[in-house]
Structure 1
């Protein structure tokens, strides 16, 4: 199989898995809702897991680059989107000053101890008036958090250096260089319980469940090799969708936090 054919096969498998993964669909929907139109804009996504979010974001319009902390994640993203994928640290990026109109941060800040310094780096690479979309776990998870601990789904296993953020702590991280545009939560009790169950099942299938810097990554090639895994996803899809719908009956706040902040130029401060 040629490299081009293999990449096309990986893309098809990644998209097929996405369409059977309500949790990923929910995350992508929340991101796009805050992101808005991107036609004609220069955009960057950071931390987009196994690459399918990067692939889908590139389909929304505009010019996109992608980056991640973990070498394996970078390779997985590159396998799907091919070009403009970069390895970064929790301090610096290889991008120019005022390069981007939009930056999307997906489940990344909780993995780095230097989140305050990285917020400053985001200010450097965004254009004045540019916007950053930040998706992070919300700290203080109650019943589901205790369930995850019982299932050995600890922050360490996920590669987290902190359990998440509150609305106030996330705002404080960006305060002074960004203004808050919108903050919301999503993924309530039933969605998080489903996620805990799926993660537990995947752990049982893996021989190396120890964490990496980005924790557990769903490898497209692994799913391709395990046809029964994809079949299980397909069979469970309607049930999982129903359980996630039950979130509408919960009047509590969600376990995921997503926010939009707008770059404030130093001249306007």
Structure 2
């Protein structure tokens, strides 16, 4: 098979696998709804390497740049778009101040060693009335998903991330100095994510690397793995679809939409003895200055 035919087949199978992925499809739909139209706007995507989601994000209109934190993500997005992708060096964005209307971070924030400083970088390149939209894993340490990830060594950290995700309050703490957070969405229930985690293990056994990460150079062996995985996903699809509808269960995915404002660190006031006001209130009887 010549290179052109191989590339064409890889793209076709990537689309087929995406169509079978309830998790990725749901994520993309929510990200696009939260981002809204970007016609006549400048957007910056910070991607973890999912070329299908990246390509669909650009259909919202306007002009887009994509930047990534790893060489593997750059290869994958570059393969999808047919262009050179910006590789972020040491958490610094190679763009001028206040040039983007929206920054969309797709599962990539947990890959940065200093995520707080990286959000400061996003603040810098956003216009005064700009928005940042963040899609991330919701970290729930004591859950079946977390247990399976530890047992099978398939957690985000095991795959090279700096952290396994964020609790809602942890992400708010990272954003509060420079962004207002009017909208937070928690979705993808625990039962569905438990089955999806088992699917991640199966995928790891079949493809080794994430199937949605296309390498810089692809081989015909990839097509065999794509076909095999597509068949396995097809068998599990009805059960996965049913479980995805159980929205009353706790969600394991997180979406946040934040509006840029002046960057001002919000420091919690401290007493002379170094305690916070909250700590003092716990150990002091209200209305007195003496310990309770």
Instruction: Report the TM-score range of the alignment, normalised by the length of the smaller protein.
Output: 0.7 to 0.9
Distance 1:68 1:193, change over 3 A: same
Instruction: Note if contact 1:40-1:62 (Cα within 8 Å) is conserved in structure 2.
Output: yes
Deviation at 1:21, TM superposition (A): 1.7
CA distance, structure 1, for counterparts of residue 220 and residue 180 of structure 2:
41
Distance 1:42 1:17, change over 3 A: same
Match of 1:218 among 195, 207, 212: 212
Question: What pairs up with 1:1-269 in 2 under 5 angstroms?
Answer: 9-83=9-83, 85-141=85-141, 142-206=143-207, 216=210, 218-220=212-214, 221=218, 225-227=222-224, 229-234=226-231, 236-237=233-234, 239-265=236-262
Distance 1:206 1:238, change over 3 A: closer
CA distance, structure 2, for counterparts of residue 42 and residue 2 of structure 1:
37
CA distance, structure 1, for counterparts of residue 60 and residue 227 of structure 2:
26
Deviation at 1:74, TM superposition (A): 0.3
Distance 1:98 1:61, change over 3 A: same
SS at match of 2:128: strand
CA distance, structure 1, for counterparts of residue 163 and residue 213 of structure 2:
24
Distance 1:223 1:64, change over 3 A: farther
Deviation at 1:170, TM superposition (A): 0.6
CA distance, structure 2, for counterparts of residue 191 and residue 80 of structure 1:
28
CA distance, structure 2, for counterparts of residue 112 and residue 262 of structure 1:
21
Question: What is the aligned length?
Answer: 261
CA distance, structure 2, for counterparts of residue 224 and residue 59 of structure 1:
31
User: Structure 2: which 5+ residue stretches go unaligned?
Assistant: 267-292
After TM superposition, the structure 1 stretch with the greater mean CA deviation from structure 2, 242-251 or 153-162, is: 242-251
Superposition misfits of 4+ residues, deviation over 6 angstroms: 1-6
**CA deviation vs aligned residue, 1:193-216 (integer Å, no higher than 9, x gap):** 232122111222346x6xxxxxx4
Length-normalised TM-score, structure 2: 0.79
**CA deviation vs aligned residue, 1:94-137 (integer Å, no higher than 9, x gap):** 11111111111011111222101001000001111111110111
User: Structure 1: which 5+ residue stretches go unaligned?
Assistant: 210-215
Task: Provide the residue aligned with 2:279 in structure 1.
Answer: none
SS at match of 1:255: strand
Question: CA RMSD for the aligned pairs?
Answer: 2.7
CA distance, structure 2, for counterparts of residue 190 and residue 108 of structure 1:
24
